[in-house]
Structure formats: C-alpha cells, structure tokens
Amino acid sequence: MKKIVIATQNKGKAKDFEALLAPLGYKVLTLLDVAQDLDVEETGVTFEENAILKAEAVSKVLGIPVISDDSGLEIDALNGEPGVYSARYAGAAKSDSANIDKVLEKMSGVPENGRTARFRCVLAVAAPNEKTETFSGSCEGIILSTPQGNNGFGYDPIFYVPAQSKAMAELLPHEKAAISHRGNALRELQQRMPKWLDEEKQS
Ligand SMILES: O=P(O)(O)OP(=O)(O)OP(=O)(O)OC[C@H]1O[C@@H](n2cnc3c(O)ncnc32)[C@H](O)[C@@H]1O
Ligand SMILES: [Mg+2]
C-alpha cells in the first residue's frame, strides 16, 4: 500500500485524511506516527503561510514529500475570527470544548441570518528540492447555538451544513469527506497533482 505523510499532530485531521485517502489506496501516516516531537511554530498570518511553513519544515527534517494542512473557521459576525487562530482561540491548550464555548459566548444574541461562517483548508505539498505547491478548499455553514453530534473534531458540533441539513459532527466520516473544506482542497490537489508527487506513489 502507498504511504503518505500528513504533517499534522491533530488526530481529528488524521481521521479526515484516512476517510479521504484510504479509498484511493493510501495509508495515512502523521507526525504522531513518524515524528511525535516535531512541532512547527505557526508564525504566519494566513492559512497559506502556515501550511507552507509546516510542509517545508517537516519535509526537510524527514527528507521525504509531505502534505500539510492549515485550516480554520471564519465567522462573518466576528470579522473572520477565529481564522488562523482557530486551534488556539481559547488559549494555548488547544481545547476543542473551550474553543466552542468561546465562539458560542461571542455569538450569543446573534440571530440565525447573521450566523454565516465557513471552514477553510489550505494544503501545502513539499518535497526536498521541489517547489512547494498549495491547494485550497472551503465549506459554507451556519453557527449553531448549541453543539450537536459526536463525530469529527474541533468546531464540527457547532457548524451546521445546510446542504446536508445536519451539523458537521452528525455526518459520518465519508459524508464529511464528500463536502468538507479538507475534501474540497484534496480534490483540488488531485486535479493539479504535482508530477513529482504522482511519481512518488509508484515507489
Ligand atoms: O497544525 P496541526 O498539527 O495540523 O494541527 P492544528 O489542530 O493545530 O491545526 P491548525 O493549526 O490548522 O488549526 C486548525 C483548527 O481549526 C479547526 N478546524 C480545522 N478543520 C476543522 C474541521 O474539519 N472541523 C472542525 N474544526 C476544524 C480546529 O479547531 C483546528 O484545531
Ligand atoms: Mg496547528
């Protein structure tokens, strides 16, 4: 089976990538499998910058091609917050439930028609001696006022997807993969697969 390293420490993202890549014949490995202590500081102010930072740093250390994912939630009523700070919105501990509580508190009193939001994902693909490429995807939704569902991770329980009439956390992994920002970015990558990555999977 072909192996691909995703430069992430996030178990929720790892599950999303498994749902997306297992059907294509890839075994997904993450930093949790190959380099537990490799933590890249996210000093960028855009998803693109952070995705490139993570992919290039990890590819350099491991000496192999990797895909990184920088993603987050943009809420219109909060001027795009939490955005690139989504993971650490309620503090460095990166607690999903504390992040959700902070969003719900800031959104209290905002009527349904003002609760529009989107998830964004930028994937960066880096390899030794190759030009790094990025691919992006988004997914539109509405911020719920109470969490719903137990699947997924992060803000999934408060992100209602009108197209599915369900919260993201109520979707099965393959259902999320079909409509998510991460799925859309990966489909963009498949459309414009860098030649060197396509060749890599033969080995
Ligand atoms: O940097 P890595 O190690 O990949 O893991 P991370 O969790 O820090 O990842 P990011 O820096 O890209 O921050 C993304 C945050 O945005 C949120 N997020 C991204 N994709 C999501 C999804 O599919 N569902 C719910 N929340 C998501 C969630 O809070 C993530 O922690
Ligand atoms: Mg991060």
Record the tokens describing residue 32, joined without a space.
């949790």
3-state secondary structure the chain: CEEEEECCCCHHHHHHHHHHHHHHCEEEEEHHHHCCCCCCCCCCCCHHHHHHHHHHHHHHHHCCCEEEEEEEEEEHHHCCCEHHHHHHCCCCCCCHHHHHHHHHHHCCCCCHHHCEEEEEEEEEEECCCCCCEEEEEEEEEEECCCCCCCCCCCCHHHEEECCCCEEHHHCCHHHHHHHCHHHHHHHHHHHCCCHHHHHHCCC
Q: Are 158 and 144 in contact (CB under 8 A)?
A: yes
Confidence at residue 198, expressed as pLDDT on a 0 to 100 scale: 66
Confidence at residue 199, expressed as pLDDT on a 0 to 100 scale: 57
- Average pLDDT of the chain, as a whole number: 95
Q: Pick the closest to residue 147 from 178, 107, 174, 183 (CA basis).
A: 107
Confidence at residue 99, expressed as pLDDT on a 0 to 100 scale: 98
Percent of residues, the chain, with pLDDT higher than 90: 93
CATH of the domain at 72: 3.90.950.10
Cα(167) to ligand 2 centroid in Å equals: 23
What is the count of structural domains for the chain? 1
Percent of residues, the chain, with pLDDT higher than 70: 97
Whole-complex ipTM: 0.99
200 CB under 6 A from ligand 1? no
Asked if the model's pLDDT at residue 201 lies above 60, the reply is no
Confidence at residue 196, expressed as pLDDT on a 0 to 100 scale: 72
- Which residues are known catalytic residues? 70
42 CB under 6 A from ligand 1? yes
Q: Are 180 and 37 in contact (CB under 8 A)?
A: no
Query: Which ligand minimizes its atom distance to the CA of 154?
Result: 1
Asked if the model's pLDDT at residue 200 lies above 60, the reply is no
Confidence at residue 203, expressed as pLDDT on a 0 to 100 scale: 45
Q: Which atom of ligand 1 is nearest to the CA of 68?
A: 4
C-alpha–C-alpha distance, residues 129 and 109, integer Å? 52
Q: Are 114 and 106 in contact (CB under 8 A)?
A: no
Confidence at residue 193, expressed as pLDDT on a 0 to 100 scale: 86
List, for residues 115-161, the tens digit of each pLDDT value. 999 999 999 999 999 999 999 999 999 999 999 999 999 999 999 99
Cα(63) to ligand 1 centroid in Å equals: 25
Domain that holds residue 43: 2-200
C-alpha–C-alpha distance, residues 177 and 119, integer Å? 13
Record the tokens describing residue 86, joined without a space.
């989504």
87 CB under 6 A from ligand 1? yes
Confidence at residue 202, expressed as pLDDT on a 0 to 100 scale: 44
8 CB under 6 A from ligand 1? yes
Cα(71) to ligand 1 centroid in Å equals: 5
